[in-house]
């Protein structure tokens, strides 16, 4: 029996609202310490990159597969997208104190438009490395907005935002804030409208995102050149090509 999993009511609410807050430690303290150490290595090596630009670090550092392919994570994901799971991507998202840029309102699916044949079984696990609070710019979502995934966007200034565009006409009063302790995680549907305010606090806010997709989703090869996907659990159902691990 899986130690880390979701109950049926939790799964039902996820499909209704488009997200779930997993308010328990995902990994043991020792394992979290190892992940935190790997993140600090990447932070030290990033050079001129901003701290919020550490995308797909597992392409370069296979130590991260210990966490991305861990039963602790996959046992939480499986009730949401099924037993056949591919690892799509990961991303260290770090908002530095005082200067961490805002993440404008967006849908992940809109930025991946054309890369898959469907978007209904894509889930992101957002694992808190630091404490994530409203004060330091935690993630926020508009519940129940995961049934479309392709809203109307307008341009924004990338000097103060992590993306070049944001969704128009968002009612921020409806937002739910994902406040997490280190080691806890959130899960959200790729189509849900979400974002984060800038970090103007003295406290760093770092998380590690792990993105998984049901293997009945076709990854379009010509739109994903040199992209590495990994069969994390189960079997392929859509004829995708995976890298060996």
- In percent, the amount of the chain with pLDDT more than 70 equals 96
pLDDT tops 60 at residue 1: no
How far apart (Å, rounded) are the C-alpha atoms in residues 193 and 189? 9
pLDDT for the residue 46: 79
Domains and CATH numbers, the chain: 8-233 (2.60.120.620)
How high does pLDDT run on average in the chain?
Answer: 95
**pTM for the model:** 0.95
Neighbours of 71 (CB within 10 A): 12
Mean pLDDT of 202-226: 97
Helix axes 71-81, 8-17, angle to 10 degrees: 70
The neighbouring-strand residues paired with 5 are: none
pLDDT tens per residue, range 157-210: 988 998 889 999 999 999 999 999 999 999 999 999 999 999 999 999 999 999
Token reading at 108:
């992940």
pLDDT tops 90 at residue 47: no
DSSP three-state, residue 58: helix
């Amino acid at each position: 029996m899986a130690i880390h999993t979701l109950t049926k009511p939790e799964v039902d609410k996820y499909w209704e609202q488009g997200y779930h807050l997993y308010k328990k430690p995902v990994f043991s303290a020792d394992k979290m310490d190892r992940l935190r150490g790997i993140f600090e290595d990447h932070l030290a090596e990033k050079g001129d990159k901003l701290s919020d630009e550490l995308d797909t670090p597992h392409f370069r550092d296979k130590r991260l597969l210990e966490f991305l392919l861990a039963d602790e994570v996959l046992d939480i994901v499986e009730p949401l997208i099924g037993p056949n799971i591919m690892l799509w991507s990961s991303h260290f998202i770090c908002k530095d104190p005082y200067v961490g840029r805002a993440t404008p309102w967006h849908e992940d699916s809109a930025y991946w438009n054309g890369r898959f044949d469907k978007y209904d079984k894509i889930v992101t696990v957002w694992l808190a490395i630091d404490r994530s609070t409203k004060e330091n710019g935690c993630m926020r979502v508009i519940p129940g907005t995961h049934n479309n995934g392709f809203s109307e966007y307008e341009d924004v200034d990338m000097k103060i935002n992590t993306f070049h565009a944001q969704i128009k006409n968002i009612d921020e009063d409806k937002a739910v804030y994902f406040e997490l302790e280190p080691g806890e995680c959130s899960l959200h549907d790729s189509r849900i409208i979400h974002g984060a305010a800038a970090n103007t606090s003295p406290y760093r806010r770092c998380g590690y995102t792990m993105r998984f997709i049901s293997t009945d989703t076709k990854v379009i090869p010509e739109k994903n050149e040199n992209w590495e996907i990994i069969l994390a659990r189960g079997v392929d159902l859509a004829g995708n090509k995976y890298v060996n691990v």
